[in-house]
Amino acid sequence: MTRYPLGLSYLAGEIKKSTDWDVMVYNADFDQRDELVTVRFMTGAGYWNYLKNLKDLDYIVWKEVQTVILEYRPSVIGITSQSSNFASAINIAKIAKRIDKNIIIIMGGHHPNLMGGKILENLEIDLCVRGEGEITIIELLRAIENNDINDTIAGISFRKNNAIIDNPKRGFIENLDDLCFPHQYAGEVLKDYNLYPKRAFISIIATRGCPNNCTFCSSRNLWGRRVRFRSPDNIVKEINSLRELGVQRIMFQDDTFGVNKKFIKDLCLEIKTKCHGIRWGCQTHVNLVDEENISLMKEAGCDYISLGVESGNDQILKEIRKNITIEEAQSAAKIIKKHGIRLSVNFMVGFPQETSKSLHDTLRAIRSINADSIVYSTFTPYPGTELFDLCRKNGLVKDDYDISLYNHQSPANCFYMNIPPEEFKMIVGKIEKTVDRKTMRYNIGRLSSKEGIEILLNQGLFESLRYFLNNVMMK
């Protein structure tokens, strides 16, 4: 499901609040057909079509981008980029420069934060923003107004006399309550705002930073491991502001909801007291699941939890530093289901240390865990993570490795050392079928009620239903 991107919405809001610049947020992923169209990368032609269309700037997607830029005629374009879509971000920069070489291209997001000034080797990009961007973008726009990009602007990389300059890092924003609500200016800045369903605005972030230290995750490189908390009162004000727009269900997008028991208790009490009737979901850590926390969350309206388990093998869990065992994950799942909360569990395959045994352990865990749905992905090494360094050390990542050509659903991923590729594909095929069957049974059951359909829409779970209908019912 297409949602209003939180990163862009925060930036646009701060620009509207603090400057006189005119702003438009263009979400290139938005498609009114979003609930009817799907791509199954792992078993279909979607991935290969994606690679082909990356090279064709006359493809319909890029033509739409071109049309939007021509209509709006911006002097500055800010592009947010994950590692997996960096090639697409470069295409947008190329299109903009082809329209007007004087357009200033600013790149931010997870990938620029990982790579720093190195992304400026792509000459279409003029400036790189590293780290949190809300304060940086204001200073940068003022510098652009004065034609004075210099080394005093913390958190940017730029070119000077053909050299790439990485300015010092910017400190983290300490008082998150000072930031505007992401949806606050949506009606003014979001292109096609009136075409977005209310459920596109359900996302909220209560904290920034994740205290965990998983070896495969790059989140800490952007947000840090020290957690910064919004006040429960500020969060509740945002929730009630969203309810005024007609939103009746929200999703917390924090890396780990709650982080500690005190914050969970304080926030749940505030939601229960001041947001009566709201329903919400979140992603949390196995170690935070206990009777007290889940009971509090349920009483405050929580009806959906996502758990990151990743592997069914304890040795793999230890090596990737999940700090859990599969037994603890199974126990957490039982507690969540005991309280009548829908549960989705994330599993990942293809870690460098993966073996036939660990894959079969993951298959058994997927089959046995008491969850309503499974989210399944394939390991992808991100620069700046320990597993990336391990992959490079063992020759799994070559010098010409292009992260933007891989993603967690890519059939091209092959970053494991101890198992032949054909055997890996065979076991993973069994895992995929198990995931499809398990998730499908639950999702089809949800179609029996209006509430169930709404939940499926909010959680983006119609993708698996569409796959089932297209590949099973239509044969």
138 and 213 fall within a common domain: no
Local structure of 431: helix, strand or coil: helix
46 and 149 fall within a common domain: yes
130 and 47 fall within a common domain: yes
Q: Which residue range is the domain that position 446 belongs to?
A: 202-473
Give domain status of residue 177, yes or no. Answer: no
State the pLDDT at residue 45. Answer: 64
pLDDT tens sequence across 106-115: 999 988 888 8
Helix (H) or strand (E) holding 118: none
Pairing relation of β-strands 342-349 and 373-378?
Answer: parallel
State the pLDDT at residue 218. Answer: 81
132 and 280 fall within a common domain: no
Structure tokens at 329: 């994950």
339 and 450 fall within a common domain: yes
pLDDT tens sequence across 268-319: 999 999 999 999 999 999 999 999 999 999 999 999 999 999 999 999 999 9
Give domain status of residue 357, yes or no. Answer: yes
In this prediction, residues 96-102 reach a mean pLDDT of 97
Residue at a domain's end among 166, 188, 218: 166
296 and 347 fall within a common domain: yes
234 and 383 fall within a common domain: yes
Sign of CA dihedral 4, 7, 8, 10: positive
| Average pLDDT, rounded, for the chain | 88
Which of 2-16, 21-35, 60-74, 341-355 is predicted least confidently?
A: 21-35
Give domain status of residue 184, yes or no. Answer: no
Q: What is the DSSP string of 242-280?
A: HHHTT--EEEE--SSSSSSHHHHHHHHHHHHHHSTT-EE
In this prediction, residues 62-67 reach a mean pLDDT of 94
Give domain status of residue 467, yes or no. Answer: yes
| pTM to 2 decimal places | 0.88
Give domain status of residue 194, yes or no. Answer: no
339 and 225 fall within a common domain: yes
- 456 contacts 462 by C-beta, under 8 angstroms: yes
Residue at a domain's end among 138, 166, 194: 166
Give domain status of residue 160, yes or no. Answer: yes
With a CB cutoff of 8 Å and minimum separation 6, the contacts of 74 are: 24, 103
State the pLDDT at residue 409. Answer: 79
Give domain status of residue 171, yes or no. Answer: no
What is the distance between the alpha carbons of residues 92 and 360, in angstroms, rounded to a whole number? 42
Residue at a domain's end among 166, 190, 212: 166
112 and 247 fall within a common domain: no
Q: What is the DSSP string of 371-408?
A: -SEEEEEE--PPTTSHHHHHHHHTTSS-TT--GGG--T
Q: Given a cut of 50, is residue 471 above it in pLDDT?
A: no
153 and 235 fall within a common domain: no
Give domain status of residue 191, yes or no. Answer: no
- Tell me, what CATH number does 276's domain have? 3.20.20.70
132 and 266 fall within a common domain: no
pLDDT tens sequence across 145-168: 999 999 899 999 999 998 999 999
- Tell me, what CATH number does 119's domain have? 3.40.50.280
The total number of structural domains in the chain stands at 2
pLDDT tens sequence across 226-244: 899 999 999 999 999 999 9
| DSSP bridge partners of 186 | none
Closest Cα partner for 145 from 266, 21, 42?
21
Q: How many CB atoms lie within 10 A of CB 25?
A: 20
